[in-house]
Structure 1
Amino acid sequence: MKRFIITANWKLNGNNFLINNFIQNIKNYLSKNIITNTIIFAPPIPYINNIKDQIKNKHFFLGAQNVDTNLFGAFTGEISINMLQDINVQYVIIGHSERRLFHNESNEYIAKKFQIIKSKNMIPILCIGENIQEKSSKKSEIVCQKQLDVILKLSDENIFKNSIIAYEPVWAIGTGKTADIQYICKMHQFIKKYITENSNVHTNEIIIQYGGSVNLSNIQNFLNIDEINGVLLGNSSLNYNQFIKIIEIVNQTYNK
């Protein structure tokens, strides 16, 4: 049975009260309901250590929103992969368009992060995708190819095993605009084909989530589609009731 992956990226949102209340509600829900899909919760870094032992469920995991390329040293304000491992983080989001745009992260820099995460047997969630100008110029596939190429060239041929790719068209993130389902499937097919043709990873081993204004009203559109293995949620994960309803819809779909 296919397992669907739901990742909640809280970005720069939340405080102790909101996150503890959110986690307590999730804990209560998981204690009363059986889920077979994967939930990854990625709050701001300062709150991870407070919640790492609160939920004991084999389908619930903690994620981080970023990691530095250095393991230790005089790098003020950064967090290393060793630190994340120390607080039981198992997934790390990298390459998000907001990091690329606001922090000038290059494809090469993101590829180094990818390697470091894999070196610790943790799972990277690599965000790739085109902006509206690139889409209008019909360069979506070229952009995604370049974002994948640096990792394929820097790493071994099995690098995309035990990894997650989040296809997030930049023009759909936080805009309320969701990509057409046929367009999403086409891009996911391209990504999977490109990786299989340039590595030793089989198509069935490649996991691709879709992200970009996914919410309660459109979540059903992404289910029961072979090319889509999960969703990366932003704003819709901040509201507990909406987040739980999304989990329930996914659970019902994949437990039939």
Structure 2
Amino acid sequence: MPNASLVIANWKMNGNKALAKEMVTSLRDNHEQFQAVNVVVCPPFTLISDLTRECYYDDIAVGAQTVSEHESGAYTGEVSTSQLKEAGVSYVLVGHSERRQLFAESDEQINQKVKATLSANLKAVLCVGENKSQRDAGETWDVVSQQVKNALQGIAPESTGKIIVAYEPVWAIGTGETATPEQAQEVHEKLRALVVELFGEIGNKLPLLYGGSVKPGNAKELFSQKDIDGGLIGGASLKTDDFLSICQAAQG
């Protein structure tokens, strides 16, 4: 029986108004099939208002794919936590591998973004994961644990209820490759021990998500692992039927 209680869609730089309406309508019409699952959709900034307008009940939340660490100022192209809150956002992805690789986000900047997100009473979805060369070199846990420690440095235990950690092996994002359920569980088990070490027993309640080519065909087995509490879904979240099937897999 799956343990999953949270499924987050990351549309990246994809989607349009038609998809937003189609997705919300499908999720709403089939909600009885995954009532125990919290669903979040993270669209591009331009579609946030469309989704928040459509999501008029609490079972579908809206998230942002990134946020500025600054509250306001001369930062052209950036979006602040207060602006996201005003738009109806309640979750923020922080430190996604594409932000780290393509936009040179450092561990220090990610830490600042986590703190800004939590200070605004938004939920921070911290993304961590190793690339293929790091995995091949046997450095997976060294990389992942350091990313977590750096990103959560200076975070008080009382903020733990607003933190989610998503393990996304970079080599499995958008490649069609997926960590086996056993590989994913091995990292999640260590993540569980790490957040308990950092925050005490409250760390046992911190949601741990898996991301990386999650599909309808592998979702149930991944979500059945002891320390996997849900998924961060990329490509499959752009296909209404696939995303619906993944939500249903999380329900069990």
TM-score range, shorter chain: over 0.9
What's the CA shift for 1:217? 1.1
Deviates more, 1:122-131 or 1:186-195: 186-195
Alignment correspondent of 2:149: 149
Is 1:62 aligned with 2:62?
Answer: yes
Taking the aligned partners of 1:36 and 1:237, their CA distance within structure 2 comes to 19
What's the CA shift for 1:27? 3.0
Alignment correspondent of 1:168: 168
Question: What is the number of residues matched between the two proteins?
Answer: 251
Which residues in structure 2 correspond to 1:27-38 (within 5 Å)? 27-30=28-31, 35-38=35-38
Structure 1 residues not aligned, in runs of 5+: none
Equivalent pair of 2:129/2:143 in contact (CA under 8 Å): yes
Taking the aligned partners of 1:37 and 1:65, their CA distance within structure 2 comes to 20
Instruction: Give secondary structure in 2 for the equivalent of 1:66.
Output: coil
Taking the aligned partners of 2:60 and 2:105, their CA distance within structure 1 comes to 29
Taking the aligned partners of 1:246 and 1:153, their CA distance within structure 2 comes to 33
Alignment correspondent of 1:17: 18
Alignment correspondent of 2:196: 196
Instruction: Give secondary structure in 1 for the equivalent of 2:160.
Output: coil
What's the CA shift for 1:18? 2.5
Taking the aligned partners of 1:135 and 1:158, their CA distance within structure 2 comes to 33
Structure 1 33/153 Cα, relative in aligned 2: closer, same or farther at 3 Å?
closer
Equivalent pair of 1:95/1:105 in contact (CA under 8 Å): yes
Alignment correspondent of 1:117: 117
Equivalent pair of 1:65/1:94 in contact (CA under 8 Å): yes
Taking the aligned partners of 1:165 and 1:43, their CA distance within structure 2 comes to 19
The one-letter amino acid of 1:180's match is: T
- Please give the TM-score of this superposition, normalised by the length of structure 2: 0.93
Structure 2 residues not aligned, in runs of 5+: none
Instruction: Give secondary structure in 2 for the equivalent of 1:154.
Output: coil
What's the CA shift for 1:145? 1.6
Structure 1 110/220 Cα, relative in aligned 2: closer, same or farther at 3 Å?
same
Deviations 1:46-90, CA, capped at 9 Å, x for gaps: 111122132233321111101001111111111000001111111
Greater relative CO, 1 or 2 (CA 8 Å, sep 6+): 2
More helix by share: 2
Equivalent pair of 1:3/1:38 in contact (CA under 8 Å): no
Structure 1 vs Structure 2: percent identity of aligned residues? 31
Taking the aligned partners of 1:134 and 1:9, their CA distance within structure 2 comes to 24
Taking the aligned partners of 1:200 and 1:55, their CA distance within structure 2 comes to 35
What's the CA shift for 1:3? 5.3
What's the CA shift for 1:158? 4.0
Taking the aligned partners of 1:145 and 1:158, their CA distance within structure 2 comes to 21
Alignment correspondent of 1:220: 220
What's the CA shift for 1:163? 1.0
